């Protein structure tokens, strides 16, 4: 058997084996047994996810088992947790569904460290009921019974109050060593001083919409999340001084005064509704990451932090002015911006620039700084013949990764005086997702190593693709005959899309090719061993019927 035959056979075998494995997982997902022996001698026990054990025999737990997921509402009767006989090796217990009745003393073993109730449980938790070893507690969706002081063990450092819990907290309700607190989705109670201990991470649930007074939140908080409905005016000093990350949820849309955000905060994310003017001094210079949702106010020079590194705008669509974006920004994204760009609109510090689907303005040469390494043009689709300046290049030489989502124009103007790429371009990775125009020799930079198409369906002319290309993805639409020199000899991997079904002959695939993948529609008879180069290591057919077409 030749090397090619072995590769094709191996690929067909692997796909067949994957299909068989998926069928085994499906058919053996749930298994009901009446004895330990039934499970031990079941031939496909390693595929069982849900085991129903119905027997009076004691269940012998595997020694290595540390996690237990249990549904103790089975056959319409309640099985107490202690009857299950949870061994001391089990440290984490997740109860999917439990009868809504009072838990008995010692029902939960005292060695359990993590406990999660998913559904059903909504009873008083007496002091001493939960194991002292517990460090993580998640109360489930139905829980809404007022907690008693001391009912949660002092060692708990992670607490989630589920979905429905909505009672005032009060001193001593929460354990003193708590570090991570997630209040329930329905929680909407006034928070008072000492209600919350010295947590470092606090998530206020979706319904919370109460004023936050100065000193109410513990000073140690580093991560603070206001969820969906919070829309209260923030006072200077109400955000703890050690807070590093702040997320203001979907409804928040209140003016922000200087001093509200503490010095030292690093990241702030505004969600959908925030759309208030930003004045100088609103943000401390410690902020390095800033994200806006539908914010659409004119940016004033020096209104954004001087040390900002990452800046994202969702709905922003106002003209920019020089200096509005700080000269510290490295990662800059606009998703709705549609105005022309001028010199110094994008700072020289920027290395990642994303201009979204609404941006379709002429980009004059030298407008984009030569610092950019990754550039995404979402809506850009300008014909280069419309540019008034000649003998220039659109993409800065510094860019090594370019994504053109919607561009479908020739890569140079009619007299070749304006090109997308400079001969000195350092571009190594290019994605042309909407592009479907012929490519001429020299239009793509020689530095290119990785090229991906999506809509492209043009004949690949000899030497049109760069000579050093290593990876080529011919997208969903490509279905053209290949010829010698259509693909450079340097190419190591080719991925044909689902439309490709053109016949192949000797010389169509480059000599250096190691991996080739064919889509679902490819069903050509391959009976020439020389179609695949001698260096080939893997041939992938996504059409499983190809095993009847291969005759090597």
> pLDDT for 25-84, tens place per residue?
788 777 776 765 676 677 876 777 666 655 555 556 555 555 655 554 443 344 555 555
**Straight-line distance from the first to the last Cα atom of the chain, in angstroms, rounded to the nearest whole number:** 9
Cβ-proximal residues to 21 (8 Å cutoff; 6+ apart), any chain? none
Residues 302 and 366 in one domain: no
Asked if residue 134 is part of any domain, the answer here is no
Give the closest residue to 496 by CA, choosing from 529, 467, 520: 520
Domain boundary among 300, 334, 350: 350
pLDDT (0 to 100) of residue 73: 44
Residues 207 and 332 in one domain: yes
Dump strand ranges (E) for 415-500: 418-419, 429-432, 450-453, 471-474, 493-496
Residues 345 and 378 in one domain: no
Phi and psi of 390, rounded to 5°?
A: -105, 170
Residues 388 and 506 in one domain: no
Asked if residue 406 is part of any domain, the answer here is yes
Asked if residue 195 is part of any domain, the answer here is no
> Do 491 and 512 touch, CB atoms closer than 8 A?
yes
Domain boundary among 329, 350, 371: 350
Provide the β-strand partners of residue 202. 181, 224
Residues 508 and 456 in one domain: yes
Rounded to whole angstroms, how far apart are CA atoms 532 and 218? 67
Asked if residue 302 is part of any domain, the answer here is yes
Lookup: tokens for 277: 């003017």
Cβ-proximal residues to 41 (8 Å cutoff; 6+ apart), any chain? none
For residue 461, the SS3 value is coil
pLDDT (0 to 100) of residue 76: 39
The two beta strands, 493-496 and 471-474, are parallel
What is the Cα Rg of the chain in Å? 31
Residues 272 and 414 in one domain: no
Residues 373 and 507 in one domain: no
Asked if residue 150 is part of any domain, the answer here is no
Give the other-Cβ count within 10 Å of 443's Cβ. 17
Cβ-proximal residues to 493 (8 Å cutoff; 6+ apart), any chain? 470, 471, 472, 513, 514, 515, 516
Dump strand ranges (E) for 328-428: 331-334, 352-355, 374-377, 392-393, 401-404, 418-419
**Structural domain tally of the chain?**
3
pLDDT (0 to 100) of residue 189: 97
pLDDT in tens, the chain (552 residues): 555 554 544 555 566 667 777 777 788 777 776 765 676 677 876 777 666 655 555 556 555 555 655 554 443 344 555 555 566 666 666 665 556 767 777 777 788 888 887 777 788 888 988 989 899 999 888 899 999 999 999 999 999 998 999 999 998 899 999 999 999 999 999 999 999 998 999 999 999 999 999 999 999 999 999 999 999 999 999 999 999 999 999 999 999 999 999 999 999 999 999 999 999 999 999 999 999 999 999 999 999 999 999 999 999 999 999 999 999 999 999 999 999 999 999 999 999 999 999 999 998 888 999 999 999 999 999 988 776 555 467 889 999 999 999 999 999 877 776 788 888 899 999 999 999 999 999 999 999 999 999 999 999 999 999 999 999 999 999 999 999 899 999 999 999 999 999 999 999 999 999 999 999 999 988 877 778 998 899 999 988 777 544 443
Residues 328 and 228 in one domain: yes
| Cα–Cα distance list, 536 to 473, 523, 544 (Å) | 17, 20, 20
Which residue bears the tokens 């001094």? 281
pLDDT (0 to 100) of residue 351: 98
The two beta strands, 73-74 and 77-78, are antiparallel
Task: Identify the domain containing residue 465 by its residue range.
Answer: 439-552
pLDDT per residue as tens digits for the range 460-515: 999 999 999 999 999 999 999 999 899 999 999 999 999 999 999 999 999 999 99
Task: Give the up-direction half-sphere exposure of residue 260: CA atoms within 13 A in the CB hemisphere.
Answer: 18
pLDDT (0 to 100) of residue 112: 82
Asked if residue 39 is part of any domain, the answer here is no
pLDDT (0 to 100) of residue 392: 62
| Cα–Cα distance list, 273 to 248, 254, 269 (Å) | 10, 9, 12
Asked if residue 124 is part of any domain, the answer here is no
Task: Give the up-direction half-sphere exposure of residue 254: CA atoms within 13 A in the CB hemisphere.
Answer: 15
Residues 239 and 272 in one domain: yes
Residues 317 and 375 in one domain: no
Residues 222 and 342 in one domain: yes
pLDDT (0 to 100) of residue 35: 66
Tell me which DSSP letter residue 235 carries: P
Domain boundary among 332, 350, 368: 350
Asked if residue 332 is part of any domain, the answer here is yes
> Do 140 and 120 touch, CB atoms closer than 8 A?
yes
Residues 207 and 338 in one domain: yes
- Dmax over CA atoms of the chain, in Å, equals 87
Please, where are the H alpha helices in 443-508? none
């Amino acid at each position: 058997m030749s090397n090619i035959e072995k590769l094709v056979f191996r690929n067909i075998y692997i796909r067949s084996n994957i299909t068989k494995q998926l069928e085994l997982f499906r058919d053996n997902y749930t298994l009901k047994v009446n004895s330990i022996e039934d499970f031990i001698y079941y031939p496909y026990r390693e595929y069982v996810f849900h085991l129903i054990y119905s027997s009076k025999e004691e269940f012998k737990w595997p020694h290595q088992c540390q996690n237990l997921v249990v549904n103790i509402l089975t056959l319409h009767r309640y099985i107490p947790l202690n009857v299950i006989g949870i061994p001391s090796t089990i440290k984490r217990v997740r109860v999917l569904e439990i009868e809504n009745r009072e838990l008995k003393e010692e029902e939960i073993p005292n060695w359990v460290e993590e406990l999660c109730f998913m559904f059903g449980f909504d009873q008083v938790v007496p002091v001493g009921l939960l194991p002292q070893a517990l460090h993580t507690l998640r109360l489930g969706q139905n829980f809404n019974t007022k907690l008693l002081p001391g009912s949660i063990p002092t060692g708990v450092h992670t607490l989630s109050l589920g979905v429905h819990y909505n009672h005032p907290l009060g001193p001593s309700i929460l354990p003193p060593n708590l570090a991570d607190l997630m209040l329930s989705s329905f929680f909407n109670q006034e928070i008072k001083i000492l209600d919350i201990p010295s947590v470092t991470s606090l998530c206020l649930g979706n319904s919370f919409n109460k004023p936050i007074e100065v000193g109410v939140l513990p000073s140690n908080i580093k991560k603070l999340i206001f969820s969906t409905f919070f829309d209260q005016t923030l006072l200077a000093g109400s955000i703890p001084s050690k807070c590093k990350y702040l997320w203001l949820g979907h409804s928040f849309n209140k003016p922000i005064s200087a001093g509200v955000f503490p010095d030292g905060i690093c990241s702030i994310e505004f969600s959908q509704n925030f759309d208030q003017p930003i004045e100088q001094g609103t943000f401390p210079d410690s902020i390095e990451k800033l994200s806006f949702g539908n914010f659409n106010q004119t940016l004033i020079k020096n209104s954004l932090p001087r040390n900002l590194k990452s800046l994202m705008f969702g709905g922003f669509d106002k003209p920019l002015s020089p200096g509005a974006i700080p000269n510290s920004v490295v990662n800059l994204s606009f998703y709705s911006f549609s105005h022309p760009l001028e010199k110094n609109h994008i700072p020289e510090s920027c290395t990642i620039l994303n201009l979204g689907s609404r941006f379709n303005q002429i980009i004059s040469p030298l407008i984009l700084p030569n610092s950019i390494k990754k550039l995404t043009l979402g809506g850009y689709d300008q014909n280069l013949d419309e540019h008034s300046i000649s003998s220039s290049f659109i993409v800065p030489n510094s860019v090594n990764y370019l994504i053109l989502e919607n561009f479908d124009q020739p890569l140079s103007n009619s007299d070749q005086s304006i090109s997308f790429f400079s001969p000195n371009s350092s571009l190594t990775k290019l994605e042309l997702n909407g592009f479907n125009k012929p490519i001429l020799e020299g239009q793509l930079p020689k530095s290119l190593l990785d090229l991906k198409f999506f809509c492209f369906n043009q004949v690949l002319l000899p030497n049109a693709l760069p000579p050093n290309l290593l990876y080529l993805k011919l997208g969903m639409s490509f279905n053209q005959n290949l010829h010698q020199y259509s693909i450079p000899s340097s190419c190591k991997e080719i991925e044909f899309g689902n439309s490709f079904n053109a016949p192949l002959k000797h010389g169509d695939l480059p000599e250096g090719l190691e991996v080739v993948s064919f889509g679902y529609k490819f069903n050509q008879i391959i009976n020439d061993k020389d179609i695949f180069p001698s260096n080939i290591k893997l041939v992938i057919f996504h059409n499983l019927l190809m095993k009847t077409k291969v005759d090597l």
